[in-house]
Amino acid sequence: MNRKTLCDSQTKGILGAMRCCPTSTLHLLRCLRLRSCTRRGKSRLPLWIRELWAYMSLLVQSLYFNSLTDSDVVFDSVFEPVFWTVDYVTRWFGTVFVCLVVILVSSIVGIAYMVLLPLILNTYSPVWIAWHVCYGHWNIVMIAFHYYKATKTSPGYPPTEKNDSPFVAVCKKCIMPKPARTHHCGICNRCILKMDHHCPWLNNCVGHFNHRYFFCFCLFMTLGCVYCSISGRNLFLDAYKALETNYQTSAPPYTFKDKMIHKSIIYMWVLTSTAGVALGALTLWHAVLISRGETSIERHINSKETKRMANRGKVYRNPYNYGSLNNWKVFFGVEKRSHWLTRVLLPSGHTPLCDGLKWDVFPVKKDLIPV
């Protein structure tokens, strides 16, 4: 007996029982019959197919869930599988990117010690030797310190327990109150205080408590790349000419060690030059954002708000812009003049001036410290 014959026989039995059963009993029998037929129909499909079908059905139903549905809700619903895939891949590749950064930086440092430093000691004057040794080691320490702190420091999360902290909205994904300047990160799957972006090269979000470390890492890495590119330019030209001449002649005038030194110099110069240009542009962009008192996300929000207010004949002002100089003081945590040295030019693990939950929304007209 096939499934259709079985369901038809059950239907006839139920119809026969309908003549003598009350309404509640009829409803119960009808539900049992539908559940039994549904279970038999689905029992042959694998579990993952049923879960995928249920998920796709939910996405389709979300498109006409209520009258408040707009283009943003439809776009998020349709492309949610794509967003989920990108978030998952980025989360998984974060460790790979961190390892890649460590390997590349370590290779440049190794070439600097094994190839460049002996050349500097043999050819430069004592004054230039002191300059290169002091600046090079200071730059390496600043890069290593800020990269470690940027990857290991928590960006800051809003409290999950009930408290008296003010909030401006409720996160649609966390279903938790969001303080001002807080945004949800799909990769970390939680809200981040003063979120700027999720950096795969750090495998961490850039937020309130590690934004300074991220910017300083980009800044000192750019300075290090520019330093290697400028100081190694002549060495790069000599190494390139030597290898080109070696390939054009029949007898090799250089040994294997000489060839490896030349190739190492070319590798270092090309890598530091390209990385210096890319990181320099990124550092300059974040410097502009810091001067304006906004993050990458707030830049997009403020731009839309400016256009919306302009259509109404009004002028929008960023409530967290305290002036260029004060914005830098708040960002670096500078409270007195000596902090420009101890907290900016030297490694410092101090925390920001505020907790990231409450922000002054009126521009500060007076400098925080005299300049």
Which of these is catalytic: 199, 205, 225, 228? 199
Write down the residue that tokens 């920001």 correspond to. Answer: 352
166 vs 106, 162, 195, CA distance in Å? 45, 11, 17
Distance of CA 4 to the CA centre of its chain: 55
By the 10 Å C-beta count (0-12 exposed, 13-18 middle, 19+ buried), 57 is classed as: exposed
Q: Is 171 noted as a catalytic residue in this protein?
A: no
| Cα–Cα distance measured from residue 166 to residue 111, given in angstroms and rounded to the nearest whole number | 52
| Cα–Cα distance measured from residue 296 to residue 211, given in angstroms and rounded to the nearest whole number | 11
Supply the DSSP symbol for 222. Answer: H
| Cα–Cα distance measured from residue 29 to residue 83, given in angstroms and rounded to the nearest whole number | 44
- Can you read off the two tokens belonging to residue 236? 């790069």
Of 56, 214, 201, nearest in space to 149 by CA: 214
Length of the chain: 371
How does DSSP assign 160-180, residue by residue?
SS--S---SEE-TTT-SEE-T
Q: Count CA atoms closer than 13 A to 146's CA, side-chain side.
A: 24
CB 192 within 8 A of CB 182: yes
**Catalytic positions, written as ranges:** 199
